[in-house]
Chain A
Amino acid sequence: MTILSAKLRQSTAAAVLALTATAVSGAALAKDLTITVWSGGTNETESYRIENIAIAADLLEREYALRGEELNIKVEGKYDFAGWAEFKQAVTLAAEAGTAPNIVVSSHLDLAPWSQAGLIVPIEDYVDLDAWPLNDIYENLIDITSYNGQVVGLPQDAESRPFFFWRETYKKIGYTDEQLDELPAKIQSGEYTLKNVFEDAKKAVDMEIVEKGYGFYPRPSNGPDYAQFYQSFGGTLMDKDSGKLVLDKKAMTEFYQFFVDCVNAGLTRKNHLGTDWNQWYNEVATGKAATWHGGTWHYARYTGKEGLSDFFGNIQFSLIPAGNAEGHANTITQPLAYMITKQNDEEAVEVAAQLVKIASEPRLNSYHAIKSSHLGISRQQSNVEFYANDRWAAEATERLLPFANAQPNHLKYGQFSELMYKGLETAWTGTKSAEDAVAEVEVEMKAALGDDLIVR
């Protein structure tokens, strides 16, 4: 009996040894890695957020092969989330459960809470910011993807959120083509303001050029776009010196009041918020609305799926006009960022970082920029013909980006923006007056944000 068990033990040990040896030698010969990428707010037009990682994987495999190492990377991408809320919920809960994807593409606003929670790791630990292609990325974009003085993520794209005018409607209310061409400059200088937008949109509705509720046709859901209007009326999002978020009651009230006035004058529908996005895209791309606001990436949708053949002949675009004397024309850029999540396998983290680095090369990023009508992230993209010859990319970059600011990377900005939108919704739908809505927002912000808030 003892002999038998001793033999058994020996043979088991031998088997284990043999298996380990095979595994170890196998690892030295070839390494298989599966890199998962989850991308938020992504549709088919933005597929290069994931495809570029796959292209990068191919390039990285070649680099490894040239060094005599075999690395097989399998990229698994996922972008069919119902919306931003569902995407962020999925990422957060997966990370808590220890099954986070390797690479996440999300708003730069998530850098603060996710890095505080340790869900993502600073990418600057794994890449050389002084080397190509990262040393060519615009510094202001790198600032936007930094938090606590560290470069946490890398900008995936740039965009901004312009105001749009349907040229034909404006011509019918008395504008000439020349005047329309000058409009963006007048908006930038503060000569044409939201007050003028209101008057012109009202004319269009009163003259029955557009239907009631289609004079001014805003974004139908929450988004950074609304912070632009707060800025138009003189609001500041964060106090730079103290790093605290700012509720400027006067600016907030006037911003809410503008939307309430639009509803009362029949320019905007009272139940506009929550309108189906597909319906919305179709309506603005077919001239059903006189004015609206959206994002630079809408160009791809208008000229693609919605079939608008002559964008520049039909639509004028500009910064969001100023609302009053304290505010200024502005636009917000909300770059998405590539982020690397914390994983037990350090090598997987490093490979993921390398893939993100390669995907940031000007040519690859231009594929994404052109297909999705986003703006480039690095200087050399203007030397990539494919990108430089695109009229939209060139004009939008020049007219909007120099004046674009980003929302602050602050742990509690998510709550701030939720409450700001909730207040807007309350005033917009007529549940409360603008003043009462702001009073409620103040109480809620004070409770939710505590010491991180300054009320002016």
Chain B
Amino acid sequence: MRRSHLLGLGFMTPAILLTLALFIIPVVLTGVFSFTNMSTSTGITGGAYEINPRSIRLMKDAGLREGLIGDLEENLYKIDAAGLAQVEKDFGKKLAEEMKGAYDGQTFKDRRELVRAIKDLKSRPRSSRDLNKAADLFQKSILNVRYDDESAFLNGLGNLGITLQDGEQAELTRFAYTGWVWTTENFSNMAAMPSTYRAAFNTVLYIAFTLTFNIVFGVFLAVATFYLPSAAASTFRTIWFLPRILPHVLYVILWKWFTWDTGFLSQVLEPFGVAPRNWMMDTEINAWVSIVLINGFVGASLGMILFSSAIKAIPSSMLYASEVDGASRLQQVRYIILPQLRWPIMFTSIYQTLSLLTSFDYIYLATDGGPGSSTTVWALYAFKTALNNYGGNLQYGFGAALALVLVGIGILASVLYLRLFDFKSMNAAPRIEQ
């Protein structure tokens, strides 16, 4: 390899690393998570093995052998030689002897009862933790015992002396496991839930309206400021650029002040006999108009900058020539400017479709998906499911499955757009060089 190639690779490295860290790895992880039932209660890093009242109830529902369930359910503490030997090892001979003398062969119905008994002894451990630990050495069941791995669990099961029939060991392990398992249920649940379809429909609405607004308004701003004297044009462009550079929270608060029941809009309209109302949240239509405008003004400002620079690149001789030919302003726009904006419009459409698909920050701050989930777009739905809800039982698996759909749609949309705008011919070498 030539050294100059290495230089190229060197320049590319930051981009490759960023793509890897911010796109490839997250997408792969999302893909992996989406085929699991991972949630707050299963944890992310793996589970433990535990037979507890809940798993026993599930085993009963699944119709496991009653005798087996009965054995597992029984929670007994019995003072026996094995336990005493362990006590001697962990807490000293004195305690073991005292326990043997006082309680040998006795059974206790739960740990608390045994701890009370141990507390009557002289050489008892002095801390509650040690008392409980000493009592645990006599437990004759595995109820509520948490085993970190499967072999420890099977060991514990073996020590109980329960004879297992064919296949029961695997069943027990399955019910005892607290961690996540592989599943395709996320996708079937997604297909079964009405809120999925609503989120999908909302997303389509959101992208279609916002994108149209962005492009049309962006082009309008670019063309309008193009025909203005340059000082006035820069002033207007700066004003229209404000939504983009304002912090998101501040920008949305301004909108809220503008639209609230006691806000600017209500106050201005009141003298005209319009009853004050919350112009952002009153009806679904209000919410949608707000969402499209809030996002639209931000998006249009980017379009404005791109389109303005593209218009500036048009050779002025073309425009002069058209004026000599008697073309009106509208005709100039229609036949000269717009055709030359094809590339930036394509870029803006692709870029903004993809960013709108995954963006929910302004919606989250403005309507939080309401009223009544009517502005909950797919990305917000995924965020709330996986990471942010009042109940706090975060559904990482289901949320990842939702996100994976977005990734798929994003890639498909990119391919579609590239074909639609004939990306190849635009990227072809100029004919003059062929």
Contact = CB atoms under 8 A, between A and B. Distances in A.
Contacts of A304: none
B42 A274 contact: no
B392 interface: yes
Given A96-B44, A117-B40, A149-B144, A430 B389 contact: no
Contact of A89 (B53, B58, B146, B387): B387
Interface string B62-96: 00000000000000000000000000000000000
Contacts of A118: 43, 47-48, 146, 178
Chain B's interface size range is: 35 or more
Interface string A337-358: 0000000001000100100000
Contacts of B284: 431
A320 to B, nearest CB: 20
A273 B54 CA distance: 35
A411 B129 contact: no
Contacts of B119: 130
Given A96-B43, A271-B371, A243 B393 contact: no
A149 B373 CA distance: 38
A443 B197 CA distance: 13
Nearest to B392: A88
A320 B105 CA distance: 54
B374 A429 contact: yes
Interface in A428-445: 428-432, 440, 443-444
Contacts, number: 158
B192 interface: yes
Given A89-B387, A431-B374, A444-B193, A127 B128 contact: yes
Contact of A443 (B193, B393, B394): B193
Contact of A418 (B41, B283, B390): B390
A110 B389 CA distance: 13
B433 interface: no
Contacts of A107: 392
Contacts of B372: 425-432
A113 B392 contact: yes
B57 interface: yes
A263 B188 CA distance: 36
Contacts of B189: 447-448
B57 A243 contact: yes
Contacts of B48: 118
B400 to A, nearest CB: 14
B349 to A, nearest CB: 31
Given A411-B41, A411-B54, A148 B144 contact: yes
A97 to B, nearest CB: 9
A86 B388 contact: yes
B112 A350 contact: no
A125 interface: yes
B50 to A, nearest CB: 8
B391 A415 contact: yes
A181 interface: no
A411 B41 CA distance: 7
A414 interface: yes
Q: By CB atoms of chain B within 10 A, which of A116, A413, A422, A451 has the most?
A: A116
B16 to A, nearest CB: 27
Contacts of A92: 40, 392, 394
Given A84-B392, A148-B54, A447 B371 contact: no
B325 interface: no
A112 B54 CA distance: 10
Nearest to A92: B40
Of B43, B131, B391, chain A has the most CB atoms within 10 Å of the CB of B391
Nearest to B132: A125
B312 interface: no
B392 to A, nearest CB: 3
Contacts of A350: 127, 129
Interface in A93-129: 96, 106-107, 109-110, 112-114, 116-119, 122, 124-129
Contacts of A415: 391, 393, 395
A413 B390 CA distance: 11
Contacts of A124: 132
A147 to B, nearest CB: 9
B371 A429 contact: yes
Interface string B111-138: 0100110010000000111011000000
A450 B112 CA distance: 36
A302 interface: no
B45 interface: yes
A422 B371 CA distance: 10
A128 B389 CA distance: 35
B267 interface: no
Contacts of B387: 89
A223 B390 CA distance: 8
A271 B282 contact: yes
Contacts of A221: 390
A211 to B, nearest CB: 11
A214 interface: no
B158 to A, nearest CB: 23
Contacts of A113: 39-41, 392-393
A271 B116 contact: no
Given A126-B129, A429-B374, A431-B371, A119 B391 contact: no
B52 interface: yes
Contact of A425 (B39, B43, B61, B373): B373
A317 interface: no
Contacts of B127: 350
A119 B47 CA distance: 11
Nearest to B45: A96
A130 B135 CA distance: 15
A235 to B, nearest CB: 18
A117 B391 contact: no
Interface in B149-178: 178
27 contacts: A84-B390, A85-B389, A86-B388, A89-B388, A92-B40, A112-B41, A113-B392, A114-B41, A116-B178, A117-B43, A118-B47, A124-B132, A125-B129, A127-B128, A148-B144, A222-B390, A270-B282, A271-B371, A274-B281, A353-B128, A422-B195, A422-B373, A427-B372, A428-B372, A429-B372, A443-B192, A444-B195
Interface of B: 39-45, 47-48, 52-54, 57-58, 61, 112, 115-116, 119, 127-129, 131-132, 143-144, 146, 178, 189, 192-195, 278, 281-284, 368, 370-374, 387-395
Give me the 10 closest cross-chain CB pairs, A-B, nearest first: A414-B391, A88-B392, A414-B393, A429-B371, A431-B372, A429-B372, A113-B41, A426-B372, A117-B43, A271-B281
Given A85-B392, A117-B40, 15 more contacts: A119-B43, A149-B144, A242-B61, A243-B53, A270-B371, A350-B129, A353-B128, A414-B393, A417-B391, A418-B391, A425-B373, A429-B372, A430-B283, A431-B284, A431-B371
Interface of A: 83-86, 88-89, 92, 96, 106-107, 109-110, 112-114, 116-119, 122, 124-131, 148-150, 221-223, 242-243, 270-271, 273-274, 346, 350, 353, 411-415, 417-418, 421-422, 425-432, 440, 443-444, 446-448, 451
